[in-house]
Structure 1
Amino acid sequence: MEYRERTSSGGQIKDIQGFVDGDKLVLKWLWPNGIDFVYIYKSCEDEAATADMINNNNARLYTKEEYKEFYGYYERINEIEKITYWIFPCVKENGKLLLIDQNGIDNRITLSLGKANIFYSIKEKRRLFKDTKIIKIIVRCDKAIEKEALCYVIKSGASPINKDDGKCYSFNQDFNVGRNQLPEIEIKKDDSIRIFFQDGKKYGEIYELIRE
């Protein structure tokens, strides 16, 4: 795919907005004067994209007429993760479409496409004539999750309300899709235990943590 460098501040995609509507992603943006075509390219959250990477096999050509007809760009959601969308303007010269290499800032947006569910259960087993109890934790995941995403917190006398409300422990293994039964934990009889995100802002955008 041929491209050209920017010749002015004009002809640039701006004000991209994106949101999830049911099982569809919706993108809207401000079309500059003189631009009737764009290429829409998807990448991982941290991947950079430039015009020389774009071709008909890895990007979607979208026209201004289509945009007007459908009131934006719609795409069915198949992934549950963060994805960056890049929109590259195109111009037609001598019968050829040429991409305009934009600044990589105004023509991109990163979105969280849905949330994967993480279900967990905590079962206690009391021990006769002992001041401790055995804890069994089961975690069920819609997708594989790295161990750094979760932690468990133990607090004496009451249930912890966040990851800093008690003594925080990391898990020693990643979580596979489906049912994960973790090694038993022995705690004091008056202790309570709960699971939290290690980083609520980071992981809370892509996962829903649900106690069963």
Structure 2
Amino acid sequence: MRYIDAEDGLPLITGLSYKLDEDHCLLRWQWPDGLQAVYIEERSADRGSYGMDEYPSPSEGLRLYTREEYKAAGGYRDRIDKVGLVVYTVYACMMENGEKLLIRQPGAENTVEISTGRAKIRYSIRQKSSLLRKYKTVQISVLAEIEVPKEVLCYVKKQDSYPASIEDGTVYPFLRDFPAGRSTLPPIEVGKNDYVRLFFTDGRRYGRFFELIPE
């Protein structure tokens, strides 16, 4: 099984739409004449946004769905179990010399994006200082509903007051992704009059997927 690019004469998926019903999603689309099967990919939208491959391996993350199954169910019904933006892509599937060919379409006619709400990232920052030392320790704890790539968050340090934005101090990146659940980072040492706060590295971009909440 492999991908091929769309060209004149090949069957293409059109009219892809969706309907949400509580925790289920119903997809419908127009089947081109003669096409008997498609492959459906379902992924979190952030996968593409964080630099992953545009197309999955043809052997992974794809589900075969036949025209007969579609007719019997009145579409393709799937349970929504992700938080954030979910992307469905429907690939027309052809057979050639016994090999399955999945057609990559230009544009987004065979792709639909569904919002299931933003994933919450809760964080706390604990400070510990001593009268006899010039420095204090700061420990950051992050509680994430889903895995958060390290590129999403940063911490900002400012002297004499808490930073108000990512531009209001010195920016430091994180070195590892945050898994779902609680992550407590090793303590960091800052000046006695320094203050630290977490921010999105790009609020416009990542604010679509996540909600950052101080505990």
Q: Same fold (TM over 0.5)?
A: yes
Structure 1 distance, partners of 2:32, 2:144, is 47
Structure 2 distance, partners of 1:13, 1:175, is 37
SS state of the match for residue 63, structure 1?
Answer: helix
Match of 1:149 among 137, 148, 152: 152
Instruction: Give the aligned partner of residue 103 of structure 1.
Output: 105
Note closer, same or farther for the CA distance 1:171–1:123 as it changes in structure 2 (3 Å cut).
same
**Aligned: 1:169 with 2:168:** no
**Aligned: 1:59 with 2:64:** yes
Question: What is the CA distance between 1:17 and its match in structure 2?
Answer: 4.1
CA deviations over 1:38-70 (Å, ceiling 9, x no partner):
735115544438xxx69xx82233536744xxx
Q: Which runs of 5+ in 1 are unaligned?
A: 91-98
Structure 1 distance, partners of 2:162, 2:169, is 9
SS state of the match for residue 168, structure 1?
Answer: strand
Structure 2 distance, partners of 1:22, 1:117, is 20
Does the CA contact (< 8 Å) of 2:119 and 2:211 recur in 1? Answer: yes
Q: Which runs of 5+ in 2 are unaligned?
A: 94-100
Note closer, same or farther for the CA distance 1:17–1:204 as it changes in structure 2 (3 Å cut).
farther
Structure 2 distance, partners of 1:100, 1:172, is 37
Structure 2 distance, partners of 1:177, 1:33, is 41
Structure 1 distance, partners of 2:15, 2:160, is 51
What is the TM-score normalised by the length of structure 1? Answer: 0.64
Structure 2 distance, partners of 1:101, 1:146, is 30
Note closer, same or farther for the CA distance 1:127–1:19 as it changes in structure 2 (3 Å cut).
farther
Residue 16 of structure 1 aligns with an amino acid whose one-letter code is L
Match of 2:125 among 109, 122, 125: 122
CA deviations over 1:173-202 (Å, ceiling 9, x no partner):
332333222122233344321111223344
**Aligned: 1:48 with 2:55:** yes
Note closer, same or farther for the CA distance 1:207–1:66 as it changes in structure 2 (3 Å cut).
same
What RMSD in Å do the two structures reach over aligned CA positions?
Answer: 4.1
Instruction: Give the aligned partner of residue 39 of structure 1.
Output: 38
Structure 1 distance, partners of 2:146, 2:72, is 38
Instruction: Give the aligned partner of residue 184 of structure 1.
Output: 187
Instruction: Give the aligned partner of residue 93 of structure 1.
Output: none
What is the TM-score normalised by the length of structure 2? Answer: 0.64
Report how many aligned residue pairs link the two structures.
193
Question: What is the CA distance between 1:156 and its match in structure 2?
Answer: 2.5
Structure 2 distance, partners of 1:162, 1:194, is 9
Higher Cα Rg, which structure: 1
SS state of the match for residue 41, structure 2?
Answer: strand
Q: Percent of aligned pairs with the same residue? A: 33
SS state of the match for residue 164, structure 2?
Answer: coil
SS state of the match for residue 164, structure 1?
Answer: coil
Does the CA contact (< 8 Å) of 2:40 and 2:63 recur in 1? Answer: yes
Question: What is the CA distance between 1:167 and its match in structure 2?
Answer: 0.7
